[in-house]
Structure 1
Amino acid sequence: MAARITARRPSPERRRTARMTSSDWANPYGVRKPYGSNGANHGDGGEKGATLSADHPLVPWKQPDHVHQWVDVDHSREELDRFVRNWPDLGELLDANVGHGRVVIVSGPPGMGKTTLIHRCLYEVQQRVAATGPSAGDPLAVFVPTAGLENDGRRISVDPDGSFAPTRLINARIRSEITKKLLLHEFSESRVRAITAEEDPYQAYGEMSDLLVQRNALLFAVIPHIRWNDAHLRAAFLRTCLSHAHTRIVLFVEVSHGAAETAREVAAALSGSAAVTHLALRELNSEDIWRFSRSARAANGAPNGLVEPDRSSLMAAHDEWKPSDVRELRKVFHSAADALRRAPHPWPIDADALRPHWERRRAGRDALLRHPILPRSGG
């Protein structure tokens, strides 16, 4: 068993300056959900004293202050920068002569922050459309998270009896979610209903593209992790997405995979296509723990009641803890901060503070990973 890591306790002076009360505390590692009693319906800053969730995708395009809670871990900054560099200008996205839309694949192990990265990319897209839109007639940007902001892929990947759905049904459900949002934006109901009823997916998305051109609109649809059981099914679905990405349609597709399957293999079926951008998240390292400890802070103006994290202790903790993903990282830090809130004196976030919480989760770590759904015959 690894030796316990001890850290300096804060001086009495630091304890006094860091003292907190239950009335002014907000967990610095919490995330405010974009909907509900503590969400965006109370304004960008959220309701004072709102309870923050231990884990939730950061959604800056729905709640702008979440940009400031975004933490640069698991190479997400590198991938975001690559997305921004490779993203076409607005004119290319709107040009009907281009003949195709875009597919953005975000791959990596489960829980590694893919959904949050997608929402961060959407925020960048939203800012660009707002900045350059006047010169293009202010196009309408329609954002559709097809399975909700919590990335519940089961919502579209199982059939009514709970079995793994065939690709035909999955595609139909994704298209149904898109057409619901088009109706909310007052697109022609008869045209949208015709798209929903069209049996040929390629033809349906072609008609959708024509409708977007007529309304000077852009569609950004997020397709969550669908729990594909093997690379063949996954590659077939990605090829389908590429064929459906007509002019003015941008699909963000999240692909989870295990450590034995590289990001290159996940996107191999689409390699060489100019319409594809591939963003790959990788494993955490000790520097990621340090970045997270310092950067993850509630963005609702609440005081940070914790003593400054201990860098050397956290860097060393990586070898003992070996957090499997960003979700585990956030939940352990959130749990430790809650415990420190109830301590007689504020202590720093260090290995000693985190250890009981990561050890408690270690036994159930497998539950953090999304297990594949067994496919039904022919699915």
Structure 2
Amino acid sequence: MTSSDWANPYGVRKPYGPNGMSSGHVGQNGASTLSADHPLVPWKEPDHVHQWVDVDHSQEALDHFSGSLSELGEVLDSNKGYGRVVIVSGPAGMGKTTLIHRCLYEVKRRLAVDGAAVGNPLPVFVPTAGLENDGHRISVDPDGESFAPTRLINDRIRRELAKRLRTHDFPESRVKAIIDEKDPFQAYGEMSDLLVHRNALLFAVIPHIRWNDAHLRAAFLRTCLSHAHPRIVLFVEVSQGAAETAKEVADALSGSTAVTHLALSELNSEDIWRFSHSARPGHGGPHVLVKPDRSSLMAAHDEWKPRDVRELRKVFHSAADALRSAPHPWPIDADALRPHWEPRRTGRDALLRDPIRPRPGG
């Protein structure tokens, strides 16, 4: 039995590609094979919503978002004069993309429950830089070497939005007019009018675009706010080193109900214990994992100091994969995790001593 054939309880199904559900590829046990890590996309794979983990106050952030959308009618009301901007900030790898996807899952659930009362609007979800949320391809100028100006980034994001509108059979002539409009504020206004006409809601995810200038980042966030017309909800991800900028911008715009700020910070000892409970019931392996020991995992955090949620997932996945061949059931505790976190910590320390210089354009 290979590791790809074993349903690792900390594995993640990729939504596309050779081991994704949509590709039809399955392991020997009849289930799709699992990866050590992949951005969770719960509106594509309902099972992924159960792999979302409450770490780093992410449940509090989700509750805050849900409260900001307590009345869908407010978002749909074209007389309000604005849509929504949701700023999601925090260190790289801390789960911002996953939180955004979980928010969108909540939107989809809310529409399924309350849709009839608000006219059953069509939800249009657009990850503007792909499922992996890599903003590199929309953040560099045409020569591929230097950082793109805000205008060019906005144009590229707008084209991504228009591409998705076409897949929902929005009129081609009106979609083309949105792309051709030189004034971005007017272009988003036309998009809003089209959404009202077609009874649709647009939820666009604008990824971390490898920002290298705090002033440009703040200017872009303010630009996003001006583009939050009725029926448009923009999720703007602000990553490593930018949390304070996001807070400052959100605070400056606090008089507007169009802005919601969801902030994630660093992991603490409680988070590693919470993450251990994200394991699905074991099957396909010789042993089921034993319930983890709380005190051992809390102590592991102090020794390990995991950098982010992605590192948590990969180390737990690797440890569980190793334990499947143990002669008897074994708990995922500090001793089981240590061989898998130590190489990562060594590499991280080396990077801190001799950091990699940033590439041109991010």
TM-score, L = length of structure 1: 0.86
Partners of 1:109 and 1:333 in 2: CA distance: 20
Partners of 1:263 and 1:332 in 2: CA distance: 30
Match of 1:110 among 92, 108, 116: 92
Match of 2:174 among 165, 179, 191: 191
Partners of 2:250 and 2:299 in 1: CA distance: 35
Confirm or deny that 1:29 pairs with 2:10.
yes
Listed one character per residue, the Cα deviations across residues 16-70 of structure 1 (whole Å, up to 9, x for unaligned) are xxxx997973111111112234334269x99934321211122211111111111
Q: Partner letter of residue 192 of structure 1?
A: V
Distance 1:370-1:218 versus aligned 2 partners, 3 A rule: farther
Which residue number in structure 2 is paired with residue 161 of structure 1?
143
**Percent same amino acid among aligned pairs?**
78
> 1:263, CA displacement in angstroms?
5.5
Preserved contact between residue 207 and residue 238 of structure 2 (Cα < 8 Å): yes
1:288-367 equivalences under 5 Å are: 288-297=271-280, 305-365=288-348
Which residue number in structure 1 is paired with residue 112 of structure 2?
130
Match of 2:32 among 33, 36, 50: 50
Preserved contact between residue 85 and residue 260 of structure 2 (Cα < 8 Å): yes
Unaligned stretches of 5+ residues in structure 2: none
Confirm or deny that 1:287 pairs with 2:270.
yes
Q: Partner letter of residue 33 of structure 1?
A: K
Partners of 2:242 and 2:340 in 1: CA distance: 24
Preserved contact between residue 93 and residue 101 of structure 1 (Cα < 8 Å): yes
Query: In structure 2, the residue corresponding to 1:183 is in which secondary structure?
Result: helix
Listed one character per residue, the Cα deviations across residues 144-188 of structure 1 (whole Å, up to 9, x for unaligned) are 000111111112112232222111111111101100000000000
Query: In structure 2, the residue corresponding to 1:127 is in which secondary structure?
Result: helix
Which residue number in structure 2 is paired with residue 67 of structure 1?
49
Partners of 2:5 and 2:166 in 1: CA distance: 43
Match of 1:144 among 109, 120, 126: 126
Preserved contact between residue 273 and residue 294 of structure 2 (Cα < 8 Å): yes
Unaligned stretches of 5+ residues in structure 1: 1-19
Greater length-normalized contact order (CA 8 Å, ≥ 6 residues apart): 1
Preserved contact between residue 224 and residue 254 of structure 1 (Cα < 8 Å): yes
> 1:230, CA displacement in angstroms?
2.5
Partners of 1:200 and 1:262 in 2: CA distance: 26
Which residue number in structure 1 is paired with residue 60 of structure 2?
78
TM-score, L = length of structure 2: 0.90
> 1:370, CA displacement in angstroms?
10
Preserved contact between residue 89 and residue 242 of structure 2 (Cα < 8 Å): no
Q: Partner letter of residue 191 of structure 2?
A: M
Partners of 1:74 and 1:354 in 2: CA distance: 20
Q: Partner letter of residue 36 of structure 1?
A: G
Match of 1:243 among 226, 244, 250: 226
